[in-house]
Structure 1
Amino acid sequence: MQKISALIFLLLFSLTIGFSQAYKGRIEASKVVVPDGHYQDEYTFDTSVDPQRWTKEKPGLHISFASTDKLYFRSEVPDLQPESLVWEQAGWRGERLNTTLVVWSPDTLDQVRFVLHDLVGPKGAVLKRENIKLNLVRYVLSNYPYGDGNLDCGPSPYRDVFLMPDRFEPFERFQLPGRTSRPVWLSLEVPPGTEPGAYQGTIDVKTDRYNATLTLKIKVQPPTLPPPTEWKFRLDLWQNPWVLAWYNHVEPWSEEHKLLLKKHMKLYADAGGKYITTYAVHSPWADNSFRIEDTMIDWTKQEDGSWKFDYNIFDQYVELAMGVGVDEAITIYSPVPWGNRFRYRDGKTGNYAYAIMAPDSKEYKAFWNIFLTDLKTHLQRKGWFEKTYIGINESEMKQTLAAIQVVKDHSKDWRITYAGDWHKELDLLLSDYSFLFGKEPSMKEAAERAARGASSTYYVCCNPAKPNNFVFSPPIEGRWISWYAVAYGYDGFLRWAYDAWPEDPTRDARHGSWAAGDCFLVYPGANSGIRFEKLREGISDAEKIRVLRDKAAKSPDKNVKKLMLEFDQHLKSFTTERDFNEQKITDAVQTGEKMLDQLSDLLK
């Protein structure tokens, strides 16, 4: 009886707390403190902001098309009244179109499944059902630190735990427990050779007891979107290839590992990924990953004091990434590892040893001159030198400048990239510069970099709170990121990381040190998710803007020029509006999308 009373008390207490959160009532897992100060699961339960709403829902299947810009919570009746059974969307040939289907019911539904049909267009043209892909959106555990008002890259609070929708999972059918909702993500790939015009088709939704029919109305516009490998937007998501071996319990760089990597990296390439992340040092970021980044270039100090460098893993990874389409840039991290710690193998003992070398020391300059000479020779032999960057990340300015001086003294032909705050003294030294959002150059300074052929991107990480790609971030922020890049004049976007998974990413997205999802955008099994797809969606928008600008510049149509001027004026709002109210940024992106649709119809 005491246990039951305690459980009732905990439930009532959690309900009370739930109403005080930013997402009231959306707490779906509770954490309690145990004596050692850590947090552990004791009870997991669902609550709703308004449990009585379920009693007002008619029994049976409820389904509606819904915006991909929002999140739909497991225990809540979605605000989708009236239900929409028709999806209307315009898109280019070669474009991926996305929508969400939300399924909910006050009673349990078994064997929910979807039967796809072809879409029929002009003169009998067909968009085949094989171009439609459905993914169940799975919920993962996520913290929600916005309410603390202190998101500054410190330890992420574990006291507020939510089930948040993000991870995609292929499915044939699923069970929907009573009084729950479940989003399904629908993607439609429009093949490049598709005949422009209006297409229509249906999807049958079946359960053990109920059925429904959905209608798709797709307007295929004349322009063609280039394939992702030809996109100009510079997407740089840092990779840790060892994490796949660790998670899947296979030997690093075995054939099994490389097969997993090819599928994993293809997802990145299909989003327009441009940079291959490589490592010349072991654990450059102070051992802060669950599976730390190892070196791809093994250093051995031989018995006679000379140095030998093994590029076997480096070569394997670069060739693998290029083989799936990531082939524009190679970044090698880092001449400034955090702590100035460098690992090498002692040729006499066979043991690993560590050297602490500050970039302004004689030892550092002597060693890096040896290494850079060997590295440059290897890169030139492979034909990779012209696309390689030496990468430095958020390092103290004195050390950064000293390291750059060593690299440039070795050869003025080295390209250097730096991710961090804007520093005027770094500007002319860097071929590629990525600025932390909010710590950026002026638009004039960014334009000056572009004019001299230097590339500039920006990034978000464990801060700022908004905009970001956290599991709990409104999905529209992922799409907004690319619109901001275009508006500011940047070449692209960077993020750490693509795949720095915590211990159990398919279930629990929290890291422990940072907010949930901060360290990864995709899931094991080369499975995407809401955050990654919204980021890709924004990059696709950026490419459409680029293509339309080129077409508009050559068009004599006055209506085109007028609309293009209006569009450019609208873009300015992305650089001046810093409120990040979810509705405001949603309206900004959707207004821009409508203007792109108008231009797409005018520019054949």
Structure 2
Amino acid sequence: MRIFTIIIALLFVTLASCDNKQRNTELNQETENNFQYIRYEEPADPSEVKETAWNDISEGLTGSFASIDKRYDRSVPPKVQMANQWKAYAWKGERIHKQLLLWSASDLGDISFEWGKFSDKDGNDLPVENLKARFVRYLLTDEFAEGCGHRKPQDFAVSLVADAIDEVSEFSYEPKTTRPVWITIDIPDNIPGGKYEGKLVVKTTGGDQLDFLIELTVGNLVLPGASEWSYHLDLWQNPYAVARFHNVEPWSQEHFDYLRPLVEMLANAGQKVITTSITERPWNGQTEDPFGSMIKWTKKKEGDWEFDYAIFDKWVAFAQSCGIKKLINCYSMIPWGNKFIYFNEQKGTYDSLVAEPGTQAYKEHWTPFLKDFAEHLKTKQWFSMTSIAMDERPVEMMEAAIKLVRDVVPDMKVSLAGNYHTEIEADLFDMCVASGQSVPAEVLTKRAAEGKNTTYYTCCVEAYPNNFTFSPPAESTWQGWYAAANGYDGYLRWAYNSWVKNPLTDSRFRSWPAGDTYLVYPEARTSIRFERMREGIQDFEKIKVLKKRLEQLDTEEAKKALSDLETLLNKFQISALADVSAEGMVTEGQDMVNGISKELF
């Protein structure tokens, strides 16, 4: 695999060199926590900017708490009910959010934050490291339009949208702009319950200062840590995008240094699956950075096969060290186009084979690998957690591929993300269906009893609920409620970080709606979408804990609360979003869960 890796690395360097030279002239870097952190300029607003909208805005700094369900325009003053106090309720172990807006008609210089003491009447403190105030950054987005399919930027409406959450300690304010700030509080799981009060101080180098008060009531119930969450989160990782963006050699120490905070952030959202590619371009290079094979296939001169697992092993061990430990999904025995690339030792070059599942050529190509791969996995003690994975393939191809796996390695796990097929359901350990599909309740119950995963996914097909950069933020949270309401174990999305060419400033892509290819940003910048998705996962876990506790109480009050909760959950159907906002549904659900928690526990 070494020669192939070098070739790919050189290709990355060649493709990225022009972009990197331009980017490095525009960006400067500051070291924070021994990490080179890119500072960059946001794009201009493509919409018509009305300077007159700022005529009545004061020269000094103005600020207010605001909804996390809204994306506020950068170029106009926000229309919000002014509030300098935020009252919140949370479980122990929970993460909560609030949005703060800052604006002015004048030049304020640099803006920075300072947290005041955050404590209860008994002197118990919220640790300052659990409190974050981060600037929300703007980038270009487009519209859903027809969803999937090739698109040109000039054919779609373009706008500026707030999404990326930056980690810089201070921000240079541009006059006549609205600057959102994302407030995050991680409540320790061992903190005493009660009322905590604190404040966030916003300062500018121009001498302005605003104090924002926070009153947090911590309940008695405890949300387990992310590593204990049952929610089966499967966001596909793309390490190749990280190598290209940072212009580093794939699988070098530098590459892994950039990968670590990104993968750890994913693990801290409860990620269960390590995404691996066992064939070259399993999705035919559909992303800006194609997936290479993490396993080198070599056809020896004598005609037998040799498999080099060095990169596969390195990536899996690394992801496990970051906290992702449940499942290894290996793509794909049925790549798009059924084309398989390998190194031909006799020719001294790379060669390819096109073979459909069920053919003799396909069987002869995959049988030696499956046998060798299974033995290798057993040596690494990874066999029981590894699955041969496919996505959106015809059922006839799936049947043929599964039959071959069963003939060669009978106890190998198999995964599929695609349509629901009764013919192969029993053979799938990890089954993920498109959101428009329906899995019978008895099948969900049976699979759960057998310890199998059943999840759902969204992609460029669904206008809603979805995670595009223009999607209403609450839709990302709504997805966790949908899983809880419909018996799914969790959610899959095909792209955690398949970054576009310039992911920090332009989320649009040549094939799908903006933001479809990634949820987070370079250097482990989180996003409104990702934080709201994590919130929905917390809600899923809170519902699970609450149901169990209510069943244990076995009182009339508890029975009524449980019945009310089930009635509310039944509302979480995709069809409902045609008439009711995700924001309204999520707010109603969270209010009920927190209300029951406060009243009965």
SS at match of 1:250: coil
What CA deviation, in whole Å up to 9, does each residue of 1:186-241 have, x standing for no partner? 11111111110000011112221422110010011111111111110000011111
Moved more, 392-401 or 151-160: 151-160
Alignment of 1:541-560 (within 5 A): 541-560=539-558
The answer for the alignment partner of 1:199 in structure 2 is 196
Alignment partners' CA distance in 2, 1:128 and 1:293: 41
Structure-2 change in CA distance of 1:123 and 1:165 (3 Å): same
Alignment of 1:451-466 (within 5 A): 451-466=449-464
Q: How far off is 1:52 after superposition?
A: 4.3
- 1:66 equivalent to 2:66? Answer yes
The answer for the alignment partner of 2:27 in structure 1 is none
Structure-2 change in CA distance of 1:216 and 1:179 (3 Å): same
Alignment partners' CA distance in 1, 2:47 and 2:486: 42
What CA deviation, in whole Å up to 9, does each residue of 1:391-420 have, x standing for no partner? 011112222221111112223312111111
Contact 2:551 / 2:558 at 8 angstroms: preserved in 1? no
Output the amino acid matched with 1:67.
S
Q: How far off is 1:50 after superposition?
A: 6.6
Output the amino acid matched with 1:87.
W
The answer for the alignment partner of 2:151 in structure 1 is 155
Q: How far off is 1:598 after superposition?
A: 2.1
- 1:593 equivalent to 2:563? Answer no
Structure-2 change in CA distance of 1:111 and 1:443 (3 Å): same
Alignment partners' CA distance in 2, 1:603 and 1:383: 45
SS at match of 2:109: strand
The answer for the alignment partner of 2:122 in structure 1 is 123
Output the amino acid matched with 1:513.
S
How many pairs align? 557
Alignment partners' CA distance in 2, 1:79 and 1:196: 35
The answer for the alignment partner of 1:314 in structure 2 is 312
Output the amino acid matched with 2:106.
D
Alignment partners' CA distance in 2, 1:114 and 1:469: 29
Contact 1:487 / 1:572 at 8 angstroms: preserved in 2? yes
Contact 1:152 / 1:464 at 8 angstroms: preserved in 2? no
Contact 1:140 / 1:506 at 8 angstroms: preserved in 2? yes
- 1:229 equivalent to 2:227? Answer yes
Contact 2:267 / 2:322 at 8 angstroms: preserved in 1? yes
The answer for the alignment partner of 2:168 in structure 1 is 171
Contact 1:560 / 1:602 at 8 angstroms: preserved in 2? no
What CA deviation, in whole Å up to 9, does each residue of 1:460-484 have, x standing for no partner? 0112011100000010000001100
Alignment partners' CA distance in 2, 1:560 and 1:56: 53
The answer for the alignment partner of 1:428 in structure 2 is 426
Cα RMSD (Å) = 1.8
Q: How far off is 1:527 after superposition?
A: 1.1
Contact 1:418 / 1:433 at 8 angstroms: preserved in 2? yes
Contact 2:104 / 2:175 at 8 angstroms: preserved in 1? yes
Extract unaligned runs of 5+ from structure 1. Answer: 1-42
Alignment partners' CA distance in 2, 1:450 and 1:263: 33
Moved more, 171-180 or 123-132: 171-180
Output the amino acid matched with 1:186.
I
Contact 2:294 / 2:309 at 8 angstroms: preserved in 1? yes
Alignment partners' CA distance in 2, 1:428 and 1:154: 36
SS at match of 1:517: coil
Identity percentage of aligned residues: 37
Contact 1:468 / 1:477 at 8 angstroms: preserved in 2? yes
Of 554, 571, 574, the match for 1:573? 571
The answer for the alignment partner of 1:107 in structure 2 is 106
Structure-2 change in CA distance of 1:453 and 1:44 (3 Å): closer
Alignment of 1:157-556 (within 5 A): 157-158=153-154, 159-207=156-204, 208-556=206-554
Alignment partners' CA distance in 2, 1:443 and 1:139: 42
Alignment of 1:33-44 (within 5 A): 44=44
Q: How far off is 1:364 after superposition?
A: 0.8
SS at match of 1:466: coil
The answer for the alignment partner of 2:32 in structure 1 is none
The answer for the alignment partner of 1:97 in structure 2 is 96
Output the amino acid matched with 1:57.
I
SS at match of 1:195: coil
SS at match of 2:424: helix
What CA deviation, in whole Å up to 9, does each residue of 1:291-314 have, x standing for no partner? 110111110000000000111111
